[in-house]
Structure 1
């Protein structure tokens, strides 16, 4: 287990001791410099669960939610930004980033859930201490089984970028060990980032809508943004039946992402090869 780079106590308000007594982990002073940004799309149950878990473990953290769903849903305990329907994840994240007033922000999927061992403060420390510009954690996929049984499966969603000419290969794993983290180039959508560095690189490409993740980290790599994974930080992410793009539209958007990166092809973490869209011939 890592010992270096872990959060240090800086004094806590009296209500933090109440939550500690009640069995809830809170580090309000550590998270004053952090804003959570979340995009939601017609998943009231999922976003409700996430917001409830955030308020349980981090009751004072600032939370911004962009809702581009077809049916607007009221939420408690968060500042809501209503956007035109189906704007896409990239546009939602950009709109939220423009409203961030803290030096760091947290990207988290709406299907995620906080738990008592999430170690969010450790990610904040890595960025606040200037060790990393983007500090990510691991994702544990949760699925409900019979009755109250839940299966929890750790997912390896962080990786390296191997660039050879105009070909990009994403490889699972990390490069080398840092102080309390492992160096890598790509982390899942659970990370703390420096606001100024992400703004300087232009945020997310809105043309890519819901498939902007790989292109975002490719540009981050080009901009020299330091990325790492904390091996003990993790978030639960629930696997549910949701409104997802079809495989055809998903692969089309990924192909556009490859074109945006100026590549001939990209091999993703699952070993799938994606190439840019073919140009239609003039008649």
Structure 2
């Protein structure tokens, strides 16, 4: 396993990239309303990145066995779990959509995603989105030197399943730095005391995908990217990039418009002013 540990310069670079990624989502937030298309969301995001002097990490991204990804961000609507490709279909009242942004700035990557409620949504949809947000923070709030990745996964899994939801197993968080995807893999399920031990300087994403129904997923059609729930139930995801510090953690993808952490995060980061 080849984990990279960030020094002060690396932390500063990632902090900037993370903030810029979050600020793309800040800009998009008031615009995600009934009638907008996900392709328009993608176009608007590209404009913001250009203004920032950042570039999209996803457009043209082609890991082994995949076709080149064709957009500046991912938009996963309703039963789409992840990697949804922006298209010309207007969002409608009651939809939920995950917008996942990764930017590169000065060689460093910032990766974050948020859920958006489009107009008035069902109670079940709102609860799923809120509980997924809380599940992400349950995992983040575990981060400190000496714990293991299995402790993070266990915290997320027990919270999600305890509230009647299921956790997707096929996709996970990941190390990040001067590469989009680095070691280690960060599972959103697991057993306490197992997996890689955390040490200061590690940076990785925590990005649970939580389903309203069963946890099984499948690929949609043949675009090579879009993943949906097998039972077509709603799915939600939130994502932050996290640094392990000497005493705990720093969330590197904070911005002025970030939703505040849940009340149970007593010593966590405050929303940036």
Q: Which has the higher strand share?
A: 1
TM-score (ref. length: structure 2): 0.29
Q: Specify the structure having the higher radius of gyration (Cα).
A: 1
